[in-house]
C-alpha cells in the first residue's frame, strides 16, 4: 500500500485527526467485479486483463481474516466474498483495467482508493451545551432514554454485531466475560484500541445492562461482539482495511455492521454501493456515520460522504438531547443514495474509553451510528429480520421529528418494546 503522511492535527484533544476537506487517496485503486462476469474468479481476471501476477486472496486466510501486513508486497488483494480487489498497478496495467471496465463485462468499476477518518468531534463544551431536553440520569444516558432502549425487553441475544473502527480495549472491566472476537486489518497493529474512538462506539452499541460503577450507556448488552480494527491509532484507514473488515464480518455471519467513519467526498462509491448490496443479500445490514462536515450555525449544511452515501448503506445523522439537529451533522446531498436515512443520539454521548480512564463523553455522527447498530440488533432479536427486512423495520419504527427529512430521514431510531 502506498503510505501518505498527513499534516492534519488532533482537533479535539483525544488523538482524533480531522477529516481533511479534500479527498485523500493512497495511489492504489479499488476494482469492482460484476456479478455476472467474473466475481468468483477475480484473481484470474486481474492476471488475464492486467498481468498482475502477485495476487493475495482473502480465502487464503481462515474466516477471511486477512492479514494485510502479509499482503503489502502483493500487486493486488482480492476480497472474494465481496467480489472486490484493491490493486497497485503500473499506468499500462491500470489502463488495461479501465479498458476492461468499458468493454469487457467482467469489471464493473475502478475508483481511487480513499483514506477514511473516525467521525467524532471530541468534547467541545460548545457542542455539549446544545443538549437541553433529555439528559443523563444516575441510571441511564440520555440517548438510551430518547430511543426507548431503557424500556426494551431485548438485549440483542443471538445477534452478532461487528464494529469496524479503531479497535477495542479488551481489558475494559465492563466487558469481562462477554463473547468478543477481535481482528486487526491495520498492517502491523494489534486489535487493541490506542485511540479511544472504537472503544467508545462499542460501548454504546454493546455495553452492559448494569455497569457496576456508572449509569447504563450500552444498547445490545447480550450481543456477540466482533471488533474489526480498520482505522489506525490516529483514526485513519484506507479502503482496503475497511473492505477487509466488512468481508470478515459477513463471512462470520454478523447481522449488523457498524462503521463510524467516512471521507469528505460527494460522489457515491460504486465499490461501497456494491458492498452494501452484497451485504444485504447475505443478511448483513451496514450502518454508517453520515459525516460531521456541516457547520449549520454559519450556514454550511455539509453533505453525506462515502460509505454512508451508498443507497444500500444506512446513513445516520446526529441529534442532541433536545432532539434538535447537531450543528456538525451533514445534510442529504442530491446524489442517488446521498440521503440521510435515520438519526441517532450524537451529542454529549457518555460511553466507555480505554482504561484507566474507563468512561468519557464524545459527540459526532460517529456516536449516533452505534446507537442505531445496537438497536438494529434488538430488532433483529425481536423479529428475526435481517438485511433489507431489518432496514425496513428500523425506518418504519423511527420517531418522526419536527425536522426536515433532508436532515434526519425517517426520524429518531427507536428500540422495540
Q: Which residues are catalytic?
A: 165, 197, 366
CA 361 to CA 228: how far, in whole Å? 22
Residue 140 grid coordinates: 441511564
Taking CA 360 as the corner, what is the angle to CA 359 and CA 363, rounded to the nearest 5 degrees? 145
Class of residue 380 by CB neighbours under 10 A (exposed 0-12, middle 13-18, buried 19+): buried
Count CB neighbours of 21 within 10 A: 8
Task: Report d(CA 219, CA 209) in Å as an integer.
Answer: 8
For residue 184, give every residue at least 6 positions away whose Cβ sits within 8 Å of its Cβ, in sequence order, or none.
167, 190, 191, 228, 229
- What is the spatial order of strands in the sheet that 180-184 belongs to? 180-184, 224-229, 160-165, 256-259, 285-289, 314-319, 342-345
- Cα-based distances in Å from 385 to 35, 211, 262: 25, 29, 27
Dihedral Cα 93, 94, 95, 98, nearest 10 deg: 130
Torsions phi, psi for 184 (to 5 deg): -100, 135
Amino acid at each position: 500500500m502506498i503510505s501518505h503522511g498527513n499534516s492534519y492535527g488532533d482537533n479535539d484533544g483525544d488523538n482524533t485527526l480531522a477529516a481533511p476537506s479534500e479527498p485523500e487517496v493512497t495511489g492504489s485503486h479499488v476494482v469492482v467485479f460484476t456479478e455476472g462476469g467474473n466475481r468468483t474468479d477475480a484473481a484470474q481476471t486481474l492476471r488475464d486483463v492486467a498481468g498482475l501476477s502477485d495476487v493475495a486472496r482473502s480465502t487464503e486466510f481462515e474466516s477471511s481474516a486477512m492479514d494485510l501486513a502479509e499482503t503489502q508486497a502483493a500487486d493486488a488483494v482480492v476480497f472474494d466474498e465481496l467480489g472486490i480487489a484493491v490493486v497497485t498497478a503500473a499506468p499500462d496495467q491500470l489502463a488495461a483495467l479501465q479498458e476492461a471496465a468499458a468493454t469487457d463485462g467482467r469489471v464493473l468499476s475502478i475508483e481511487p482508493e480513499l483514506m477514511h477518518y473516525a467521525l467524532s468531534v471530541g468534547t467541545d463544551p460548545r457542542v455539549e451545551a446544545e443538549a437541553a431536553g433529555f439528559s443523563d440520569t444516575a441510571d441511564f444516558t440520555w440517548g438510551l432514554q430518547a430511543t426507548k432502549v431503557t424500556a426494551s425487553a431485548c438485549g440483542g441475544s443471538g445477534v452478532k454485531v461487528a464494529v469496524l473502527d479503531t479497535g477495542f480495549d479488551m481489558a475494559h472491566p465492563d466487558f469481562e466475560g462477554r463473547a468478543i472476537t477481535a481482528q486487526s486489518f491495520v498492517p502491523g497493529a494489534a486489535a487493541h484500541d490506542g485511540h479511544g474512538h472504537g472503544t467508545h462506539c462499542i460501548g454504546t452499541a454493546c455495553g452492559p445492562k448494569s455497569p457496576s460503577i456508572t449509569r447504563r450507556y450500552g444498547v445490545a448488552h447480550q450481543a456477540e461482539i466482533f471488533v474489526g480494527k480498520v482505522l489506525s491509532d490516529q483514526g485513519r484507514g484506507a479502503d482496503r482495511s475497511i473492505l477487509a473488515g466488512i468481508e470478515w464480518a459477513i463471512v462470520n455471519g454478523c447481522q449488523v455492521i457498524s462503521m463510524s467513519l467516512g471521507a469528505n467526498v460527494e460522489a457515491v462509491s460504486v465499490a461501497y454501493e456494491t458492498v452494501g448490496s452484497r451485504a444485504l443479500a447475505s443478511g448483513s445490514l451496514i450502518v454508517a456515520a453520515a459525516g460531521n462536515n456541516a457547520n449549520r450555525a454559519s450556514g454550511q449544511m455539509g453533505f453525506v460522504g462515502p460509505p454512508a452515501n451508498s443507497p444500500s448503506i444506512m446513513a445516520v445523522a446526529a441529534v442532541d438531547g433536545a432532539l434538535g439537529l447537531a450543528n456538525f451533522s451533514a445534510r442529504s446531498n442530491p446524489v442517488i443514495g446521498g440521503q440521510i436515512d435515520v438519526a441517532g443520539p450524537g451529542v454529549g454521548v457518555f460511553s466507555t474509553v480505554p482504561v484507566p480512564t474507563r468512561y468519557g463523553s464524545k459527540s459526532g455522527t460517529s456516536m449516533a451510528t452505534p446507537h442505531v447498530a445496537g438497536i438494529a440488533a434488538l430488532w433483529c432479536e425481536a423479529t428475526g429480520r435481517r438485511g433489507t427486512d431489518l432496514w425496513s423495520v428500523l425506518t418504519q419504527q423511527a420517531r418522526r421529528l419536527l425536522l426536515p427529512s433532508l436532515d434526519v430521514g425517517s426520524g429518531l431510531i427507536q428500540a422495540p418494546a
